[in-house]
Structure 1
């Protein structure tokens, strides 16, 4: 799932929703991933 250039959950947690959205080209998915990561 996280094969979009992120090395681990720690890096993903530091990325902003906008950064994730730019990589995934989908803000909705990025926001969902960000919520999931923050709950971990």
Structure 2
């Protein structure tokens, strides 16, 4: 989610859902359910 300014007159913000495509390479033999953290994403 990212923040979007509602108006210039007040400090209110709303959250907007953002969609990203991340590509990773999975090594052979990785256990089922293995999690890969994406920092700052």
Task: Judge same fold: TM > 0.5, yes or no.
Answer: no
- Give the greater-gyration-radius structure (CA): 2
Normalised by the length of structure 2, the TM-score is 0.21
TM-score normalised over the length of structure 1: 0.21
Structure with the bigger RCO (C-alpha within 8 Å, sep 6+) is: 1
